[in-house]
Amino acid sequence: MEARLARIEGHVHGLHRMAHEGRPYPELVHQIAAVRSSQDSVLRAIVEDLVEECVDASPSTGSVVPIVEELRAVVDRAL
């Protein structure tokens, strides 16, 4: 998680530097896309961890594997 957050920070810092330097818009757009991709990666990891925690905390009344797979699919569509 820390590495992913550091990557986001690095991308944002790079974006700020590029804007300050007056870099062309296509380069800025490329950097913004990198920021978004990094954010999506962190969000996906957080949500997956949360889903697993919720399932682990639920009473064991049967197999939860299908529930976890369904929740992951919903999260993937939302992201």
pLDDT tens column, 51-63: 777 777 666 666 6
Q: Tens digits of per-residue pLDDT, 3-27?
A: 989 989 999 999 999 999 999 999 9
Structural domain of 38: 2-78
Number of domains in the chain: 1
Alpha-carbon distance of 2 to 4, in angstroms, equals 5
Residues of the chain above pLDDT 70, percent: 89
Alpha-carbon distance of 6 to 76, in angstroms, equals 23
CATH for 24: 1.20.58.1000
Quick one: tokens of 16?
Answer: 């700020």
CB-neighbour burial class of residue 73 (10 A; exposed 0-12, middle 13-18, buried 19+): exposed
pTM (2 decimals)?
Answer: 0.69
